[in-house]
């Protein structure tokens, strides 16, 4: 049995899976393809629509047979919300997901950090990689209810013409509440009822209805599939960004639903506090929101801005300064997410734009190789022989970077007391002399090696004549965003 942490995953055996979340929670699921979008109403499984091909809901228990999912389905996202519609998740115990396989064998358990004001939580996802199905722990919270999640997965929620004006500002925000609706017979009506139990979950699109005073509930009433891949971004944003990138000779970026979800949650937190910041009131950094949403990255960047009223104004602002312009133009980024949320007190819009390149084994290998090449270039300039890559040192270095993200520390000494030489030995290395450099926050191999060379102690390790081998580790996430490890051996 595996105890998962946010972003952790494991391969799944064949056969039907049983997922349970005991306690005062409602469980639901969204079935999507590789685009992350639902195909229609039948892909939304919840208490009023408990069955879909390959998935069935019985109270707090969801069963999933990946082989029985509809054609093209490659992901099942498990969602939890309070059984009592008016209760924020922060007033309840942290939900615990239990996943069992055929024969009742417990495969995994996952308990995310206890939510605060969030009303819905993306708990985990079952996803396909090649011919293998895997489970990934998420733990991504939403403050704008089930309707906010539905929109990000391709479901559009609009209001009845006669409904009360909502308490949600452009881009996000919610007023929890609502009640269950019984006696629904069609899939469309069922989806409508399920969304209506979290009042205020709908958002007012930019340029349409102005937000009403906070506290007035809105009642989502119509649910239709949305298929446009850019629908989660403000109108025109992607075109403006890619035009600016093209002018700088950089390739275009595409929108990613997980980055957009993390951007929306972070923007909502800034709007609630009325200030910009890389860390929310819940203590989570913008990078932790990205990884908690299941997005592993090789490099990441962000814009946190308040004030612009339109996508054009926002992009213009990002192009006005050297550092922010460099982020928008960075050719390393291939995917993006953006959201804005209004401060209900002042009406100021708070923006979060996220930029990333997803982590792949090949990309991680290239990053490590580039760190080694830059390190050896510094040694060559000092008249020293190059260091050879060592797979055992690399395994220990990679494990330490990942551990710093997972256990939220930054030190040569792990929380269990282990030191670099202990970690090297545990990985199977028999080298007699061990040295270690660590760093956090740098966004590229060039930046991290330059930082180490500008620090006397780290420079001494890189230029130590006795060292003959090296391993490099990298992990994204945590409060700093990136964590690097060099492990030297002789």
Check: CB of residue 199 under 8 Å from CB of residue 181: no
Supply 198's token pair: 């979290």
CA distance 121 to 145: 9
CB-count exposure of residue 371 (10 Å: 0-12, 13-18, 19+): buried
Burial class (CB in 10 A: 0-12, 13-18, 19+), 1: exposed
pLDDT tens track for 292-302: 989 999 999 99
Segment 238-272, tens digit of pLDDT: 999 999 999 999 999 999 999 999 999 999 999 99
Mean pLDDT of 227-231: 34
Q: Is 328 helix (H, G, I), strand (E, B) or coil?
A: helix
pLDDT in tens, 396-431: 999 999 999 999 889 999 998 999 999 999 999 999
Residue 207: count of CB within 10 angstroms of its CB: 10
Of the listed ranges 142-146, 206-210, 264-268, the least confidently predicted one is: 206-210
Give residue 159's pLDDT band: very low, low, confident or very high (50, 70, 90): very low
- Gap between the Cα atoms of 237 and 463, Å rounded: 47
Q: 120, 94, 131: which is closest to 109 by C-alpha?
A: 94
CA atoms within 13 A on the CB side of 241: 31
DSSP state of 301: E
Decide: 106 and 121 in contact? Cβ < 8 Å: no
Cα angle value 34/35/38 (rounded, 5°) = 100
d(CA 236, CA 240): 6
Within 10 Å of residue 274's Cβ, how many Cβ atoms?
Answer: 13
Strands 434-440 and 388-389: unpaired
Phi, psi of 244 (to 5 degrees): -65, -40
Mean pLDDT across the stretch 204-210? 23
Residue 151 confidence (pLDDT): 63
Mean pLDDT throughout 165-187?
25
Question: DSSP 3-state assignment of 272?
Answer: helix
Task: Calculate the CA 40 to chain-centre distance.
Answer: 24
Average pLDDT over residues 359-378: 96
What residues does 477 pair with on adjacent strands? 481
Per-residue model confidence (pLDDT) at position 219: 24
Query: pLDDT, tens digit, for every residue of 92-121?
Result: 888 889 999 887 889 998 888 777 767 888
What three-state secondary structure class fits 330?
coil
* Contact call for residues 312 and 240 (beta carbons, < 8 A): yes
Q: Cα(first)–Cα(last) distance of the chain, in Å?
A: 38
Residue of 29, 35, 120, 121 lying closest to 76 (CA atoms): 29
Strands 106-110 and 2-4, sheet pairing: parallel
pTM score, whole prediction: 0.54
pLDDT above 90 for 211: no
In the block, residue with structure tokens 């005073």: 213
- Quote the percentage of the chain above a pLDDT of 90: 51
């Amino acid at each position: 049995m595996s105890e998962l942490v946010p972003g952790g995953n494991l391969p799944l055996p064949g056969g039907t899976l049983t997922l349970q979340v005991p306690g005062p929670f409602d469980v639901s699921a969204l079935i999507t393809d590789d685009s992350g979008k639902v195909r229609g109403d039948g892909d939304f499984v919840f208490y009023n629509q408990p069955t879909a091909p390959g998935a069935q809901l019985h109270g707090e228990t969801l069963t999933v047979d990946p082989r029985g999912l509809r054609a093209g389905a490659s992901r099942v996202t498990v969602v939890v919300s309070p059984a009592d519609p008016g209760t924020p998740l922060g007033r309840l115990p942290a939900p615990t997901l239990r996943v069992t396989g055929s024969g009742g064998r417990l495969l995994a358990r996952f308990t995310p950090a206890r939510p605060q004001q969030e009303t819905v939580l993306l708990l985990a996802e079952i996803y396909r990689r090649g011919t293998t199905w895997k489970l990934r722990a998420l733990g991504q919270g939403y403050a704008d209810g089930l309707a906010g999640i539905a929109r990000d997965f391709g479901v559009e929620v609009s209001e009845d013409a006669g409904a009360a004006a909502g308490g949600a500002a452009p881009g996000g925000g919610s007023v929890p509440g609502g009640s269950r609706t019984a006696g629904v017979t069609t899939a469309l009506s069922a989806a409508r009822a399920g969304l209506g139990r979290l009042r205020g979950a709908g958002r007012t699109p930019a340029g349409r209805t102005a937000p009403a005073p906070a506290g007035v509930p809105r009642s989502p009433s119509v649910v239709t599939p949305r298929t446009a891949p850019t629908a989660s971004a403000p109108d025109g944003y992607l075109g403006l960004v890619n035009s600016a990138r093209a002018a700088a000779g950089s390739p275009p970026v595409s929108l990613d639903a997980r980055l957009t979800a993390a951007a929306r949650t972070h923007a909502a937190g800034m709007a609630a506090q009325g200030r910009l910041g890389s860390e929310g009131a819940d203590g989570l950094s913008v990078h932790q929101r990205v990884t908690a949403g299941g997005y592993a990255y090789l490099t990441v960047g962000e814009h946190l801005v308040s004030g612009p009223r339109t996508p054009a104004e926002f992009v213009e602002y990002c192009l006005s300064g050297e550092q922010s312009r460099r982020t928008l133009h960075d050719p390393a980024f291939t995917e993006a997410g953006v959201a804005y949320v209004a401060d209900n007190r002042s009406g100021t819009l708070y923006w979060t734009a996220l930029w990333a390149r997803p982590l792949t084994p090949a990309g991680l290998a290239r990053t490590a190789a580039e760190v080694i090449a830059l390190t050896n270039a510094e040694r060559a300039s000092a008249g020293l022989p190059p260091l050879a890559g060592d797979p055992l040192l690399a395994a220990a270095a990679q494990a330490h970077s990942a551990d710093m993200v997972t256990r939220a520390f930054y030190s040569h000494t792990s929380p269990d007391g282990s030191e670099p030489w202990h970690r090297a030995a545990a990985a199977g290395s028999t080298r007699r002399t061990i040295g270690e450099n660590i760093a956090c926050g740098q966004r590229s191999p060039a930046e991290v090696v330059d930082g180490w060379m500008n620090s006397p102690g780290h420079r001494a390790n890189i230029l130590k004549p006795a060292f003959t081998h090296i391993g490099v580790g990298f992990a994204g996430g945590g409060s700093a965003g990136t964590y690097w490890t060099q492990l030297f051996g002789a």
